[in-house]
């Protein structure tokens, strides 16, 4: 009898944002929640900003999911955006505010590996000094967590979008 062993994809979730600026901290909070799920093949990092040292962690996984707030002006047209990310060929602009594309480019340049990558942008309206989310962002926290659970249950590349 032959026993098949299925390899689970290693997944890194990076939620980022300023937790003292209202909705801006939504990515950070979502990453904290996911860390509490304690799923073997998932590592979740809550960070205030994207920094070059994250490239090493990114190089060690099959899939990386970035989560951040996106400012909206009209709550009636708010929607959760999930984008695939490809490598940005310019790695020279690593500075105070890095983007997921820049981190993927750095990962490729240093480690010669780029995992499948997604960027989840959560609608946000309040960036004032606060540790509370606006009602619209709180609604999308729950939706985002649901989408991530759905993706994780499928465990196959390309099923996020």
Summarize pLDDT for 59-118 with one digit per residue, the tens: 999 999 999 999 998 888 889 999 999 886 655 555 546 799 999 999 999 999 999 999
12, β-bridge pairs: 43, 64
Mean of the per-residue pLDDT values for the chain? 87
Q: Give the CATH number of domain 11-154.
A: 3.40.50.1450
SS3 state of residue 130: strand
pLDDT in tens, 38-51: 988 999 999 999 99
Q: How does 55-94 read in b/e, with b if 16+ C-beta sit within 10 Å?
A: beebbebebbbbbbbbebeeeeebeeebeebebbeebeeb
Predicted pLDDT at 84: 94
Predicted pLDDT at 98: 78
Q: What is the pTM of this model?
A: 0.88
- When pLDDT is cut at 50, 70 and 90, the band that residue 19 belongs to is very high
The full length of the chain comes to: 161
The pLDDT of 10-30, averaged and rounded, is 96
Of 102-116, 127-141, 142-156, which range is least confident? 142-156
CB 66 within 8 A of CB 100: yes
Domain ranges of the chain: 11-154
CB 123 within 8 A of CB 112: no
Predicted pLDDT at 161: 52
């Amino acid at each position: 009898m032959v026993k098949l062993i299925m390899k689970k994809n290693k997944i890194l979730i990076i939620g980022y944002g300023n937790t003292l600026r209202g909705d801006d901290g939504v990515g950070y909070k979502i990453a904290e929640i996911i860390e509490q799920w304690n799923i073997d093949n998932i590592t979740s990092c809550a960070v205030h900003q994207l920094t070059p040292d994250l490239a090493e962690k990114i190089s060690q996984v099959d899939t990386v999911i970035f989560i951040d707030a996106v400012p909206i002006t009209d709550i009636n047209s708010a929607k959760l955006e999930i984008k695939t990310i490809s490598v940005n060929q310019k790695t020279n602009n690593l500075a105070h505010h890095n983007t997921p594309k820049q981190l993927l480019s750095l990962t490729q340049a240093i480690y010669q590996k780029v995992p499948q990558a997604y960027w989840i942008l959560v609608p946000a309206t309040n960036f004032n000094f606060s540790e509370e989310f606006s009602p619209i962002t709180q609604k999308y926290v729950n939706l985002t967590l649901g989408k991530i659970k759905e993706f994780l249950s499928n465990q196959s590349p390309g099923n996020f979008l």
